[in-house]
Amino acid sequence: MSAHPTSDKQRVATLPIRQASAEDAVVIAGLLHEFNGEFDVASPGVPALTSRLESLLAERSTICYLSRCALGVALVTRRPNVWSEGPVDLLDELYVVPQYRGLGIGGALITRLVADARDAGVSVIEINVDEADVDAQRFYERHGFTGRHGPSSERAFYFSQEL
């Protein structure tokens, strides 16, 4: 037995993060469906999400990361942008199963996606966070993201219109 036993947090935080494929669509769909349910947001359901993910993950513009044992997922959309030399990534979803939060899984997912984005020549990663979700804001700030934009460091906002 080791003199310094490895804590659960250390063990979980070192779980490998892998890039998912279309074959993982049903697992990812289940996690995303759970995520929406946790926040009482409507979901089209696992079958519909699975179908969409199978199509999206077959393309190069959608990238998904899974932790081992599917305890967490990060879903990214990559697109060209006129204002930057490289593409722009949008972190569409980051979810960790509730009972495994605080163990470093979210951080491991972010670390992997940032490293891969940097290797792919991505110019910027964008993340939309609800104003009331201060825990998420602090999490992203700890990982080098900011809610400010440009040289004046003006506060950045996200606007949308459902069609």
pLDDT tens-digit series, residues 40-60: 999 999 999 999 999 999 999
Q: How far is CA 120 from CA 123, 124, 147, in A?
A: 9, 11, 23
CA 20/CA 29 separation, integer angstroms: 12
CA 71/CA 31 separation, integer angstroms: 8
What's the pLDDT tens digit per position in 53-105?
Answer: 999 999 999 999 999 899 999 999 999 999 999 999 999 999 999 999 999 99
CA 149/CA 163 separation, integer angstroms: 27
What's the pLDDT tens digit per position in 113-127?
Answer: 999 999 999 999 999
In DSSP notation, 1-38 reads --SSPPPHHHHHHTS-EEE--GGGHHHHHHHHHHHHHH
First-to-last CA distance in the chain? Answer: 60
What's the pLDDT tens digit per position in 145-157?
Answer: 998 777 777 887 7
Tokens of 13: 């935080």
Q: What is the mean pLDDT of the chain?
A: 90
Residue 4 — pLDDT band, cuts 50, 70, 90? very low
Beta strand pairing call for 124-127 and 148-149: unpaired
Instruction: Choose among 19, 34, 27: nearest CA to 53.
Output: 27
Mean pLDDT confidence for 5-14: 52
For the chain, the structural domain boundaries read 15-20+61-150
Tell me the CATH number for domain 15-20+61-150: 3.40.630.30
Instruction: Choose among 52, 58, 7, 10: nearest CA to 28.
Output: 52
Mean pLDDT confidence for 100-112: 95
At 160 the pLDDT is 76
At 80 the pLDDT is 96
